[in-house]
Amino acid sequence: MKIEDGKGKNGDMSVSVAQRGNVSSKNAARIFYISRDDSLAFNAISIGDNDYADGEFCMYLKNTSATRNIMIQHIEFHSVDATRFIISEVTGTAAGGTVITPSNLNLASGIPGEATAMGGGAAITGLTVVKVVGTHRTTALSESEMSYEGALILGPGNAIAVEKDTEYGGTTGIVEIDVFFHFETIGAT
């Protein structure tokens, strides 16, 4: 029996001197390989230079690519107050916040992210919640993360926003949000 090498070159799989198949696998997070191989992994950082009131949007991310999906790896939350954050799919035209340029995680690359991001400065306005896709709580003066492992996918034109919740936690407080994401071509496996 012959096993092909899997590279499409019609070669046989290599074996060791002990007649064991030589195989390897990708076992790091997908975002690592996307950063290393394609330079399409990013972090959008909303620096906490504003005291957000409960119910205000403090982070916004929209996919502006026509050919790629955004795959959210994880979102980090940092807060002065004990806070519940609500992550929602949103529509509308974001305004009021500070424009954020997502940072390419492959520092050797100059490829920009095809995304609109806002946060920082003031509350983000002009958005309508379509549906909630997650909630997350932090204790006062702490940080934590919500891992989507690439399962939260923003197709072209899709957007999410993070809201400081009115039902839990302090009244105002500095928050910082980091959204780690990468791009994959639509239809890629």
pLDDT-derived band of residue 147, with 50, 70 and 90 as boundaries? very high
pLDDT tens digits, 20-52: 776 666 677 888 899 999 999 999 998 866 667
CA–CA distance, 152 with 145 (Å, rounded to integer)? 14
Output the pLDDT for position 55: 77
- CA distance to 78, 112, 123, per residue, from 126 (Å): 24, 25, 10
Which domains are seen in the chain, by residue range?
Answer: 40-185 (2.60.120)
Compute how many other C-beta atoms are within 10 angstroms of the C-beta atom of residue 175.
Answer: 25
Average pLDDT score over residue span 153-181: 84
- What's the mean pLDDT when you consider all of the chain? 86
User: Which is more confidently placed, 16 or 82?
Assistant: 82
* Joined tokens for residue 187: 């239809």
Buried b (16+ CB within 10 A) or exposed e, 28-37: ebebeebbee
